[in-house]
Chains A and B, each alone.
Chain A
Amino acid sequence: MTRQKRSHHKLKRAVAPYLYLSPSLLIIGLLMLLPMVTVIAYSFQNSAVLRRDPSFAGLKHYQAIFDDPVFWASLWHTLYFTCMSVIFHMTIGMVFALMLNSDRINPALRNILRVLYILPWLFTAVIIAVIWRLLLEPNGVVNSILMQIGIIGSKVEWFSSPETALHAVTFANIWAGYPLFMVSLLAGLQGIPKDFYEAADIDGAKAYQKLIFITIPQLMPIIISISLLDFIWTMQVFPLIWITTGGGPIYSTEVLSTYTYKLAFSSYNLSQASASAVVILLISLGLTLFYIRYQKAR
């Protein structure tokens, strides 16, 4: 083989993987990178999209959203909504997974519970929002039951009162999202070798000790991975909040997604909306990098 032929062959070998990857790279570039770069570009323009000749705005739109108290309130609400959702998704998911994995529960009952517990996962965000709006409306079932058993004295406007609205939407989101944890943890539980528990039984370990020293450490990789993913997804929740409260009453359930939506489609300020979207992107990116680093470390 001549030298020229060899170098040609080498080049072909080097290029081949990229040729195989090129269709997916092209799709990712067109569907993900291009819109992302476009939105970033919009955030530095005046009258983005609305004018054919937008001028350069520098950091003006970032300054405007950082000066807006509603943005900071939205950020705080987003963090509250996300943290509470992830914590409770994990807790409820763990309890239900342990229940479904327990030999002490009748297998037939376990199968029924498995179906019941997974139900929230089968509904779309719109259906979940409608269900909870009906349940939590002032004349709804929840108020009726709570009044009958004497927990509340008068009707509570769960979604319409600034004091309760954020808790109410968070509750609805917790209900909607725990099955992801439950299913993942159940799979993890079924993968823990029985020997560990048998050894612990011989050592006289109690149930809570087995949970703390065997189950949770064994599930830790799943818990961390799913928590990080849930954090990223929950931060971007839009339809549930939009349909239940629209970000209100006043600004009590305004989160970054509804804040951005209103800037874009109510104020038609697409430049500021882009700046807000870039902030969400940066936060999500930070979390994603953290997730990737964790995955690599494993």
Chain B
Amino acid sequence: MKFLTEYRDADLVKLLLDKIEKTVTQPWAIMEVCGGQTHSLVKNGLLNLLPENVQMIHGPGCPVCVTPLNLIDKAIHLAQKSNVILCSFGDMLRVPGSKKSLLQVKAEGADIRILYSPLEAVELAIKNPDKEVIFFAVGFETTAPANALSVLLAYEKEVNNFSILTSHVLVPPAMEAVMNDPDSNIKAFLAAGHVCTIMGIEEYYPLVEKHKIPIVVTGFEPVDLLQGILMCIQQLEKGEYRLENQYSRVVKSEGNLRAKNAIEKVFKIEDREWRGIGNIQQSGFELRDKYHAHDANLKFDIKIDKVIECKDCIAGLILKGIKKPHQCSQFGSNCTPEKPLGAPMVSSEGACAAYYHFHQANNQLTSIS
């Protein structure tokens, strides 16, 4: 497959691993920001191929993991209304709310559909004029353009029974929050390639300068990830810090202007609550006033009690890379993918779920630190 197999080449991987091994002289903690990168590291078994001195910290870039509990409760509340069709991306369904998950209320009779594109939800609304169609608009900057287009389409066609429940979060403010945490020991970042495809790379320059930390915009295939890691280590070993773009075959410096334009039209930047991390200033998208008719938060009177996270779950420390999943007292005992206490154990992009599988292997294969 063009543009895939080349980046899964075993010889190239070996070459890069050798280079990393030869370059690294001391322990470095590098955070891969995006859940897709975590997923790829685990799926391809890369974590146990890296030298011991390279410690990968799994970042907060898993949209499912950082969606606040009370927003999931809101989605569940809406889905249970008799005239509502709630549409969502697939892996949001299994995430536990305070009492139930969307998958459970679906089994109880709620009309919940898994879609790949929010534009399909607009079509669904046109086909079902007597129903309220709500799209659970979760994700980072990557899913924002399609969600923006769905709102624009509904606005233009006056599809008044379509709305979105927004939970959009932004990567750079989250990286900044991680860097500002005094307990953080992260020395470099692999920035999320897909997010930069949309947004470009310019907003990362100030972060590099302010925190004097290397950031490498990185793709998702094994060769991408190893090259990104090597670029970080080369900088770290020389005591340098700058922004580099490993994923230049896809990411342009200015990003995707049309996509950015759609986002700019529909969304404004607001403070947002991150599950496990807390409130981060200017870290999320909200619909602009012009599109309030399509904002499920305003359209429906939803009163959800403030819920308290499970006190045994240390998702916040994990999302910030301060603790590793297997250092949690609940890991693998009271908290498993089957019965997750927190979101990072749910999604295959979540660090805990990834570690749960990896850790099992390591009991038998090699030891992990």
Question: Do the two chains bind?
Answer: no
Q: Which A residues have a C-beta under 8 Å from some C-beta of B?
A: none
Q: Which B residues have a C-beta under 8 Å from some C-beta of A?
A: none
